[in-house]
Amino acid sequence: MPEFKKPTSEQEFEKNFSQIKPLMSDTEAYYESSRCLFCYDAPCVNACPTGIDIPLFIRQINSKNDSGAAKTIYESNFFGYACGKVCPTEVLCEGACVYNNSDVKPIEIGRLQSYATGKSIQSGKKYFKAGKPNGKKIAIIGAGPAGISCACELRILGFDVDIFEAKEKPSGLTVHGVAPYKITNKEALDEMKYLQDQFGFHITYQKPVLTKTDLDTLEGSYDAIFIGIGLGATSELKIKGEQLANVFGAVEFVDTLRMNHHKISVPGKVVVLGGGNTAMDAASETARMGAQVILAYRRSKEEMPAYDFEYDLAKSVGVKGVFNVTPEEIIGENGKVSGVRLKSTTDGNSYLEPCDWVIKATGQSKHSELLRLANVSMDEKGRIIVKENFQTSNKKYFAAGDAVSGGEEVVNAAANGKKAAKGIAAALS
Ligand code: SF4
């Protein structure tokens, strides 16, 4: 039996998708910050890809200097609020906190981070301003964490910045790809507005850069171009039945759910194929939409690339994992999915798992065609190759984020987008 009732209103959706890291009250933040030992050479800082001075901002919260704390965070990470909520803190800062050594609950660094930055977003308090104009213009393709972070830093350095975004909203994965129980659309978009008000970069929405002509136009109008396009659509499995209605890609499903909430109808039984964090998100989300969910992975539970806490989260909402099985064929009736034939990778036996939907969380394609048009070198996996300063093989182009890494966390893209801005400034000076 599903653990959740199908949500039929926004209120019910919010209940099913209640935040796993809710905002702290003033009292909670005060007490939690009091527990911090303000370690010297703090391991939590070393574990943060953006290197936020965590003991400093926690001390600032503890002395009721919330603005000072927000400034400390934003100086290192322009996605300070979002990262506090969506980062896998269990394996980053909180996983490194010294309290783990004595089996004591680590400091809730993520929630403290969102507490401090959230106050500044709500009050509109500004900590940065654009630098003296240096007369140079940069085009950024993609308004995700890498592109927006790059834009913020470039503005501080005095560049004019225009961002071209294919979708209708900024922040990339933060609003389109992260599970709704990690951050709400409003929270993600409020931080984007806060940054745009402060830094003054310009974003053109629904403006995908696709063709050689598009690239030629940018090359003729800008001093450098930053590519922050992330990854593409879900890769094909190339199995029979994949084209049936009700077979979806996980990233496309998560995006649709983020944009439509209770308005999308998830049927009674769903099979999610894959063992990564995206598979866990898709499984948890369909379960919270009222479905009975099977998560099928081709290797053992121990070999799943997903973080343990993500699998635990999926299990906690009723998702059932089946391991060492690979999809052989998706079976349909009247053009729609009726089941998936799963084959054991240990004994070769196969069986039919009846279901109404199949969600593929088996990797994403790359935007290789555009990168070829831009004459940018890629590795054998289609990832952009960059030098230390984030410049590509084509000197006009710089890049960071998932299109370079092949798929990391929001915090990694934010960290590298900011560093790439410095690389661009150095190359153009
Ligand atoms: Fe505070 Fe833990 Fe970081 Fe030490 S490791 S500074 S206790 S958060």
- Residue 13: DSSP 8-state: H
- What is the mean pLDDT of the segment spanning 326-349? 96
> Are the C-beta atoms of 88 and 307 separated by less than 8 Å?
yes
Nearest atom in ligand 1 to 37's CA: 7
How does DSSP assign 90-157, residue by residue?
Answer: TTTHHHH-GGGGGT-PPP-HHHHHHHHHHHHHHHT-----PPPP-S-EEEEE--SHHHHHHHHHHHHT
- pLDDT band (50, 70, 90) for residue 3: confident
Check: CATH 3.30.1370.160 for 247-360? no
**316, containing H or E segment:** helix 308-316
Tell me whether the CATH fold assigned to 20-123 matches the one assigned to 247-360: no
Q: Name which residue leads in pLDDT, 202 or 429.
A: 202
Report how far residue 408's alpha carbon sits from residue 10's, in angstroms, rounded to the nearest whole number: 30
Angle among Cα 412, 416, 422 to the nearest 5 degrees reads 160
pLDDT value, residue 1: 66
Tell me, what's the pLDDT at 141? 98
**How far is the C-alpha of 283 from the C-alpha of 242, rounded, in Å?**
19
189 confidence band (pLDDT: 50, 70, 90): very high
Q: In 3D, which of 30, 13, 3 has the Cα closest to residue 260?
A: 13
Q: Quick check: 2 pLDDT over 90?
A: no
Topology adopted by domain 20-123: Fumarate Reductase Iron-sulfur Protein; Chain B, domain 2 (1.10.1060)
Backbone angles phi, psi at 348, to 5 degrees: 80, -5
Q: For the domain covering 137-232+366-428, report its CATH number.
A: 3.50.50.60
Q: How far is the CA of 133 from the centre of ligand 1 (A)?
A: 39
Tell me how far apart the alpha carbons of residues 382 and 343 are, in angstroms, rounded to a whole number. 30
Q: Quick check: 87 and 408 in contact, CB under 8 A?
A: no
Mean pLDDT taken over the chain: 97
pLDDT at 107: 98
The CA dihedral of 29, 33, 34, 40, to the nearest 10 degrees, is 180
Report domain extents, the chain: 20-123, 137-232+366-428, 247-360
pLDDT digits (tens, 9 = 90+) for 292-323: 999 999 999 999 999 999 999 999 999 999 99
Cα 150 to averaged position of ligand 1 atoms, centre (Å): 29
> Within 318-367, where are the H helices?
none
Residue 55 in contact with ligand 1 by CB distance below 6 A: yes
* Among protein residues, the one whose CA lies closest to atom 4 of ligand 1: 39
End-to-end CA distance of the chain: 63
Ligand 1 contact, 266 CB (< 6 A): no
Tokens in use for 396?
């006009």
- Rounded distance from Cα 44 to ligand 1 centre (Å): 6
Looking at the chain, the whole-number percentage of residues with pLDDT higher than 70 is 100
**pLDDT above 90 for 246:** yes
Q: For residues 192 and 147, is the Cβ–Cβ distance under 8 A?
A: no
pTM of the model: 0.95
| 33, 35, 37: residue to mutate for ligand 1 pocket, most atoms within 8 A of CB | 37
Please give the average per-residue pLDDT across 137-160, as a whole number: 98
Summarised one tens digit per residue, pLDDT across range 265-274 is 999 999 999 9
Our mutation pick for probing the ligand 1 site, out of 31, 33, 38, counting the most ligand atoms within 8 A of Cβ, is 38
Query: What's the pLDDT tens digit per position in 360-371?
Result: 998 999 999 999
